[in-house]
Amino acid sequence: MNIYLHELRAYWKNTLIWTLSLGAGTVFMFSMFPAFSGNAVALSDALKNYPLMIQLAFGLFVDQIGSVSGFYSFIVTFLTLVGSVQAMTLGISVLSKETTGRTADFLLTRPVARGRVAAAKILAVFTCVAVTSAAFITLSAVCAQAVSGAPFNHRPLLLMALSFFFVQLMFLVLGFCAAAVIPKIRSVLPVSLSCVFAFFALGILAAMLGNEKLYYLSPFKYFETYRILTTASYNPPFLAAWGLVVAGLTAAGFQVFIRRDVRA
Amino acid sequence: MNVYLRETRSGLKSLIFWSLGVILFLAASVQKYSALSLDPASLDIMRQLPKALQEMFGVGYLDFAKLSGFYGMIYPYMVLMTAVHASMLGAVIVSKEERDHTSEFLYAKPASRLGLLGAKALAALTAALILNLVIGAASVSMFGSEPGMPGTIAQLCAGLFLTQLVFLALGVAAAAGFRQPKAATGIATGVMLAAYLLSVAIDVSGKLGALKPLTPFEYFDARRIIGRGEALNPWYVLLCLMLAAALTFWACLRFNRRDLKV
Amino acid sequence: MAIVEVSHLKKYYGAARGIEDVSFSVEEGEFFGFIGPNGAGKSTTIRTLLALIRPTAGSASIFGKDCVKSAPEIARDVGYLPSEVFYYDGMRVGDLLKYSASFYKKDCRERIAYLAAQLDLDLKKKIDDLSFGNRKKVGIVQALLHSPKLIILDEPSAGLDPLMQQRFFELLREENRRGATVLFSSHVLSEVQKLCSRVAIIKEGRIIQLDAVGALREDNYKKVALEAKAALDEALFKMDGVASLSVNGSAAGFIYRGSVNQLLRVLSGLDLESVTIQEPDLEEIFLHYYQ
């Protein structure tokens, strides 16, 4: 479809930069592992009484401290932050640029239903995010294999890496819905940054207050690293909630975009 | 000056938003501290963490049983938040004229380009300062119960302000210096995130100390300042001022010469 | 067959009036003009026709289909030129036109080449580097490249140099001869006078006059200017239908509405050097409505 291709062409460079930066960051972080694990191994016993609350707040866990998976659970949070900013920026800008760039008069008077325009756009940015996530997951697996001295269970690591993609999707549709409701978002990056950091802080808050219900408020807590590390699986109610949130925001964004007035 | 007033007024909503955010964060931290302090065993464990983790959380220098120690632990988050705020503020306040196609209006007025740039930078500085003061006041009221703590918090806020200066200058330079002001926020974010990543890596590996001057996030070590009663490192203070000055100077030079995007 | 049918269309932006009550229809093959003061509701009406905004009340249809419900279908045969033309950053003219063409299931390459040649438009240039007028040209080509049956233009000639304006109108006339219907809103009344067969005048959200251009001119005043051999007396022109009388020594001018025969009788009684009787400019007529 022409709109889909047009958008992909418009975003490929941006996606490349984000993917390469994320990749570089990932490799850099992994390179710290040898130094990190050298220190950690000796103290696993003493850490067994490490209170859960603190572990959850900082993403560091007793039994996993020395392993690559445990280390990854720490760095994946930071990298997911970066990926979330990318996703939200894409989600917002794909819609808002028609308004701020005044090209809405052109695009929306083509013989294409608005729903299809929205679909093409969201599919395009979804593709960008998917590409970045795929690269990230692959790179994570490769690096983990490379730096880990001992064999390790791949499943928790892969699940954590996959959660990067899921969180990205949440921010993608959040940005999309936001731009549908507020067409004139001009400072896209600052808005995304602030939003992502706000949700991140919210997540830390929720962890500190120990209230699991509050976890639903922050995308960063839907795929809790501790749980993945210990049970090698996602938390079903959160997974369901994730599905609902993503579907709901997408549908809402579509509906608003289809119905709203396009001012000159 | 009219530009200064206008920029300050239009940035008010965002500033309030950010101020509330930091206050909330500080309040939540106090909450967590009260929860933690009820469990002394957990604090003992902290001291037995692997060295890398100790470095990260400053366990070696800080006593988490005390409010002040806890503050030292959350201080780096304050730095990160204000760094994001300052760099975005600097970048947007300068690039928005060219982004919104209002540059033909503003820059054709009888005022020098540098004068206008200066007014905007000053407005951004004011906002950063206000945020800093809010953090200071909130910190003192929530974490300042111990003797000597308010003074230490004041020192930390001074360090915070210096970091804000550097990132503010970074944002302004990214917007003023390049011919494509639209890229300003991206550049500023990129540099800031890279600096943060570097600081995390330094903390985690405990070995890259030589690289500390490269990232403002490592300049003012809350753990030492609180835990050992050290003062702000004068070399880093100087570095901050020099960085900010250099970036600003370069920004002014370029802004005066380059074509403005209509 | 009425190509465009608008019936009691109303649009309010919250509490602010867009249009109050607009009704008109445009027949196939017509060249229809749409004029009015700033803020009267011209753009609002047009944007409603294009389903860019939803009406508060009333209905509008194009090709017999409802504007909002069948918008994509209708858009296949409609070409639209907005008053302010903006396109995506970093695109070249040719690329944008190709992108636009890709929405219509036809091969428009020849048309694009032809139109670009007519308007002196360089397809290789970056849109960002174009002046306002040149961007307008891109908009014109974009509106016409798929040979639409209905062409809607909002202030089309603003920004074009006089030569380009001529070429542009020639293009429009060509399209019209081919059978296309043209609806355009403008402030340049001489244009409207030259091109349009019917004109609607909109003011404060309502249509206050809708007629053929010729009828508007006929049914109106005649401008009379004369020069006599001797000084004139005002009293000579005291008859029904005279307005705006001005006498200056041996020259006089006035506006007359009424029986032509009576006018000629009065004038023939005078000793005249020269006399001019004109139909007023549409500008003068319209200005009356603008006030």
Residue pLDDT, tens place only, A233-253: 888 999 999 999 999 999 999
Q: Determine the residue among C10, C19, C47, C153 to mutate to test chain A binding: the one whose Cβ has the most chain A Cβ atoms within 10 Å.
A: C47
The phi and psi torsions of C92 (rounded to 5 degrees) equal -90, 160
Measured CA to CA, the distance from residue B15 to residue C79 in angstroms comes to: 46
Residue pLDDT, tens place only, A209-235: 777 788 888 999 898 877 787 788 888
Residue pLDDT, tens place only, C248-262: 888 888 888 777 888
For residue A65, the model assigns a pLDDT of 59
pLDDT at residue B206 is higher than 90: no
Residue B121 or residue A152, greater confidence: B121
Q: pLDDT-derived band of residue C220, with 50, 70 and 90 as boundaries?
A: low
Q: Determine the residue among B16, B51, B98 to mutate to test chain A binding: the one whose Cβ has the most chain A Cβ atoms within 10 Å.
A: B51
For residue C282, the model assigns a pLDDT of 66
Q: Does B189 touch chain A (CB under 8 A)?
A: yes
Q: Does C50 touch chain A (CB under 8 A)?
A: yes
Domains, chain C, in order of start with CATH, read 2-217 (3.40.50.300), 221-290 (3.30.70)
- Shortest distance between the Cα of C266 and any Cα of chain A, in A, equals 55
Q: Does A261 touch chain C (CB under 8 A)?
A: yes
Q: pLDDT-derived band of residue A50, with 50, 70 and 90 as boundaries?
A: very low
Q: Does C48 touch chain A (CB under 8 A)?
A: no
Residue pLDDT, tens place only, C8-44: 999 998 889 989 999 999 999 999 999 888 888 998 9
For residue A148, the model assigns a pLDDT of 79
Measured CA to CA, the distance from residue A30 to residue A146 in angstroms comes to: 9
Q: pLDDT-derived band of residue A45, with 50, 70 and 90 as boundaries?
A: very low
What letter would DSSP give residue C218?
H
For residue A49, the model assigns a pLDDT of 46
The size of the A-C interface in CB pairs under 8 A is: 63
For residue A167, the model assigns a pLDDT of 96
For residue B103, the model assigns a pLDDT of 83
Category of A118 on φ-ψ map: left (φ > 0), alpha (ψ -120 to 50) or beta? alpha
pLDDT at residue B34 is higher than 70: yes
Tell me what the mean pLDDT of segment A160-187 comes to: 94
With CA atoms as reference, the chain B residue closest to A30 would be B201
Tell me what the mean pLDDT of segment C142-153 comes to: 94
Residue pLDDT, tens place only, C92-120: 999 999 998 888 888 889 999 999 999 99
Measured CA to CA, the distance from residue C35 to residue C49 in angstroms comes to: 16
Tokens of A75: 């760095």
For residue C192, the model assigns a pLDDT of 85
Please give the single-letter amino acid code of residue A127.
T
* Residue C147 burial (CB count, 10 A): 16
Q: Does A10 touch chain B (CB under 8 A)?
A: no
Q: pLDDT-derived band of residue A46, with 50, 70 and 90 as boundaries?
A: very low
pLDDT at residue A137 is higher than 80: yes
Cβ separation A40–B53 shorter than 8 A = yes
pLDDT at residue B112 is higher than 90: no
Q: Does C289 touch chain A (CB under 8 A)?
A: no
Asked whether C156 and C184 are in contact (CB, 8 A), the reply is yes
Query: ipTM > 0.85?
Result: no
Please identify among residues 112-141 of chain A the ones whose CB lies closer than 8 Å to any CB of chain B. none
Dump the DSSP string for C220-236: S-EEEEEEESS---GGG
Instruction: Please tell me the least confidently modeled range out of B210-214, C32-36, C195-199.
Output: B210-214
- The residue written with tokens 């009704």 in the block is C23
Tokens of C94: 């040719």
What letter would DSSP give residue A108?
T
Asked whether A129 and A169 are in contact (CB, 8 A), the reply is yes
List chain A domain ranges. Answer: 2-33+48-259
Of C87, C103, C142, the CB nearest to A2: C103
Mean pLDDT for all residues in chain A: 86
- Is pTM beyond 0.90 here? no
Residue pLDDT, tens place only, C168-185: 999 999 999 999 999 989
Dump the DSSP string for C49-102: HTTSS--SEEEEEETTEETTTTHHHHHTTEEEE-SS----TT-BHHHHHHHHHT
List chain B domain ranges. Answer: 2-257
Q: Does A32 touch chain B (CB under 8 A)?
A: yes
Of A6, A97, A111, the CB nearest to C76: A111
- Shortest distance between the Cα of C265 and any Cα of chain A, in A, equals 56
- Shortest distance between the Cα of C202 and any Cα of chain A, in A, equals 19
**Highest mean pLDDT (candidates A132-136, A154-158, C41-45, C282-286):** A132-136
For residue B15, the model assigns a pLDDT of 94
Considering only CA atoms, give the Rg of chain C: 23
For residue C285, the model assigns a pLDDT of 66
Apex A33 CA angle, A30 and A35, nearest 5: 140
Q: Does A259 touch chain C (CB under 8 A)?
A: yes
pLDDT at residue C91 is higher than 80: yes
Structure-derived torsion over alpha carbons of residues B191, B196, B199, B200, reported in degrees to the nearest 10: -140
pLDDT at residue B182 is higher than 90: no
Mean pLDDT for all residues in chain C: 87
Q: Does A198 touch chain B (CB under 8 A)?
A: yes
Helix (H, G, I), strand (E, B) or coil at B233: coil
Q: What is the layout of strands, in order, in the sheet containing C65-66?
A: C65-66, C57-62, C2-13, C16-27, C206-212, C198-203, C31-35, C181-185, C150-154, C78-81
Collect all residues of chain C within an 8 Å Cβ-Cβ radius of residue A104: 52
What letter would DSSP give residue C243?
E
For residue A138, the model assigns a pLDDT of 94
Burial class of B34 by CB neighbour count within 10 A (0 to 12, 13 to 18, 19+): exposed
Q: Does A110 touch chain C (CB under 8 A)?
A: yes
Cβ separation A36–B51 shorter than 8 A = no
Instruction: Please tell me the least confidently modeled range out of B136-140, B194-198, B202-206, C73-77.
Output: B202-206
Instruction: Please tell me the least confidently modeled range out of A39-43, A176-180, A183-187, C183-187.
Output: A39-43
Asked whether C202 and C35 are in contact (CB, 8 A), the reply is yes
Task: State the pairing for strand pair C31-35/C181-185.
Answer: parallel
Cβ separation A103–C88 shorter than 8 A = yes
Asked whether B93 and B124 are in contact (CB, 8 A), the reply is yes
Helix (H, G, I), strand (E, B) or coil at C12: strand
pLDDT at residue B50 is higher than 50: yes
- Shortest distance between the Cα of C71 and any Cα of chain A, in A, equals 7
For residue B55, the model assigns a pLDDT of 55
